[in-house]
Chain A
Amino acid sequence: GAGVSQTPSNKVTEKGKYVELRCDPISGHTALYWYRQSLGQGPEFLIYFQGTGAADDSGLPNDRFFAVRPEGSVSTLKIQRTERGDSAVYLCASSLTGTGTGEITEAFFGQGTRLTVV
């Protein structure tokens, strides 16, 4: 597709369970970002990938959160032992450039995955 695709669009899980959220970035975009958005708040940065490596994971709230991007395209955000406070919309974005100099290019966002932990 032409845009960033995220699956599933909605996920309901029980407290304590493990979940995986998937992001398909725009083809050719080397940079990929995960954000989390709680109700009434702006998106909050979680992690940034340049290619296959996590260049900045400073936004991950704790070690229950982990993300991978093994082939430099699709990324999976993994949450272990989910808690009710993890309920939020998880947004993925991609952009053309990542490291190095030069003007920042715009980030394209997906529609998000709404995670509800009950």
Chain B
Amino acid sequence: DAKTTQPPSMDCAEGRAANLPCNHSTISGNEYVYWYRQIHSQGPQYIIHGLKNNETNEMASLIITEDRKSSTLILPHATLRDTAVYYCIVKPRNSGYSTLTFGKGTMLLVSP
């Protein structure tokens, strides 16, 4: 699986947009970009995934660059409850199952 690079930590003011970057320069054509987050003392939670088009759901938006070498997860109006570790993962489309390779992720701290 392609490796990802994320900043270890980021800060965001409550109510502002949180933009979390991820570099995946070795991504191959059949690999999706997945984002999960892990709130303290809980298991990881799926947020969103995409292949090459931008995606949006009720939780976040995912912007993937045209060359697919990087992506940005956007939380449009961050709340205190969005404080968590955010993991960017790339996974082959037809790998058959959802084994996920987690890195250390980005610790997002949302402050009042």
Q: Nearest chain B CB to A48's CB is how many angstroms away? A: 6
**Across the interface, which residues of A come within 8 angstroms of B94, CB to CB?**
101-103
- The complex places the Cα of A106 from the Cα of B42 at a distance, in Å, of 17
- Interface size for chain B: under 10, 10 to 19, 20 to 34, or 35 or more residues? 20 to 34
CB pair A42 B104 closer than 8 Å: yes
Interface members, chain A 52-107 (any B CB < 8 Å): 55-56, 91, 93, 95, 97-107
CB pair A4 B43 closer than 8 Å: yes
CB pair B43 A111 closer than 8 Å: yes
- The complex places the Cα of A98 from the Cα of B99 at a distance, in Å, of 10
Report whether over half of chain A's contact residues are helix, strand or loop; otherwise say mixed: loop
CB pair A42 B96 closer than 8 Å: no
CB pair A112 B43 closer than 8 Å: yes
**Across the interface, which residues of B come within 8 angstroms of A43, CB to CB?**
44, 100, 102
CB pair B43 A42 closer than 8 Å: no
CB pair B98 A95 closer than 8 Å: yes
Known: A42-B87, A42-B102, A42-B103. A109 touches B97 (CB 8 A): no
Known: A42-B103, A42-B104, A104-B91. A48 touches B45 (CB 8 A): no
A-B pairs with beta carbons under 8 Å apart, 19 shown: A31-B97, A31-B98, A33-B98, A41-B104, A42-B102, A42-B104, A42-B105, A43-B44, A43-B102, A44-B102, A48-B97, A91-B43, A93-B43, A98-B97, A103-B94, A104-B98, A106-B49, A108-B46, A112-B43
Chain A residues close to B by CB (< 8 Å):
4, 31, 33, 35, 40-45, 48, 50, 55-56, 91, 93, 95, 97-112
Chain B residues close to A by CB (< 8 Å):
32, 41-46, 49, 85, 87, 91, 93-105
